[in-house]
Chain A
Amino acid sequence: MRQFKSIAVSTLLLVPALVSGAAEMRFPPPDFQTSYKLPDLYVPPSASSNGMWDAIILFLALAATTWMVFKARSRKGLFILSIFSLAYFGFYRTGCICPVGSTQNVMAGIFLPDVGVSVAVLSFFVMPLLFSLFFGRVFCASVCPLGAMQELVAIAPIRISPALDRTLGLGRYIYLGLAVLGVATGSGFFICRYDPFVGIYRLGHSYGMIMAGAVILVLGVFVARPYCRFLCPYGILLGWMSRFSKWHLDIPPSPCVNCRLCENSCPYNAIDMPTPQHLVENPEVGKKRIRGLVFASPVIIAVGAIAGYSMYEPLSRIHPTVTLSERIAAEDAGVVTGDTLESRTFRAGGQTAAQLNTEANGIREKFKTGGMWLGGFLGLIISLKLIGLSTVPKREIYTPHKETCFSCGRCYPYCPVEAVPKRA
């Protein structure tokens, strides 16, 4: 028995029994003559075990938002809920855990064998998606603290061209792909690491991230919700769910009169207008183009996969072990002079450079597969987007685009049909 007995039992009077243990201690534990008793270790329990409460509050916030979107149809109500979400999930709970970040925990649970996902984290991931599946992106409307912050600063939003909007929107897919790749290869949680607003919630972060948050907020005054539209990886999943949503926000509660008043109300390009006459083309031409694109899509996917595969080396540098291995190799070869804290720590440890290199090579192999999947995924998204662009669905009224609409309710006040029942 090399371990010390409980302090309560002996105030270390059992010194002879501890000879083997004491041999490794430079100074034997004292044999007190006075009635001195060893103090207790101060080990406070966890303060952050209220995950289930947060999940309940998240559910209530989602339910309240749904009510505001569908029943009350109140932009003001949604705005007030945004302030609550920002205050509670953002500033009070310091932004952790949030559904956007929980994507990575779930991915870790899927890809890494020894990682589990707690019920609270999982409910944070699943609840907004389920709500989205039935009611559209009500989570984005006024529950997400990141969205709420940007919604509050979007004072003078301008509309940017749909083409630019869609192109920049591809950034979300790249971000999602990289985030999943990062989790699956054990490189880290990049969505959390580069969360631009967490520094504002906590009133402190690195200079770079505070600046990034500030730039996004300033930009967000004019280009509403830049993070949500061009970066948010969770928004993609919500959008996919919302596309099939059973119910969704409607601009007019009763038949649309095509008054065009809501046309400019949406800063997110999320209102689908009635199809203009000049766009209704000969169906044969359209069919031919779609056929061509469908046949081209495997090629696009394959090109993406090959590009992703060949990018494995730069991609693998997101993993700290690979960077360390390269650093050690460069130091050994004399390419760089001096050392870093990481390389010093490595050299002080028991591992050899060859072992580290073998480990890094194993990780690089993972990035070959991962890069291929990432490239293939992006290729698939691009070809789907191209096919989507070449279809012109016939619409006669103004409807929100279910995938991109944040259900923020900005269009409500613009609709004259909305006001009719109130006057009657």
Chain B
Amino acid sequence: MSQKVLLNSKEVNIILHRLACQLIENHDDFSETVLIGIQPRGKFLADRLAQMLKEDYRIKNIQIGHLDITFFRDDFRRGDKPLEANTTEIDFIVEGKNVVFIDDVLYTGRSIRSALTAIQSFGRPNNIELLTLIDRRFSRHLPIQPNYRGRQVDAIDNQKVKVNWIENGGEDAVYLIDK
């Protein structure tokens, strides 16, 4: 198993700042916007971006939630491993809001399809956008594309893209791993 560094900590930081600025361009003061991190791994990216928007860009009212999509996935009973649920923490209604889904890697698009269904339990958003740190283009199973992307990657199916965060016991870095 070999691995290659796609992004190091400095590059991740630069990209996060760019993504934060792109969000500000489109969402102004975020009064009508909510950020939703897709569990389990989109949580770290969402939290980091929210923190950056608050501390570095002085945006006061960032609403952030974490959405678990386990019960909405389309591969229940189809895989070898059972699906393990994570916590959903959304203590607001998304009715009429601009929702930004945040996930670390966009691969087949199936997780985002599930998230689109899952978010309906919390109301009818005005619109939904997608932000992803890594976009594995050419791997999509569904017609889903990100509105904000950190880095586009061409990876083949037997490679894995792994995003590490300091909060998750490591350093900020993205690796391409040959399985």
The answer to whether A and B belong to the same complex is no
* A residues apposed to B, CB below 8 Å: none
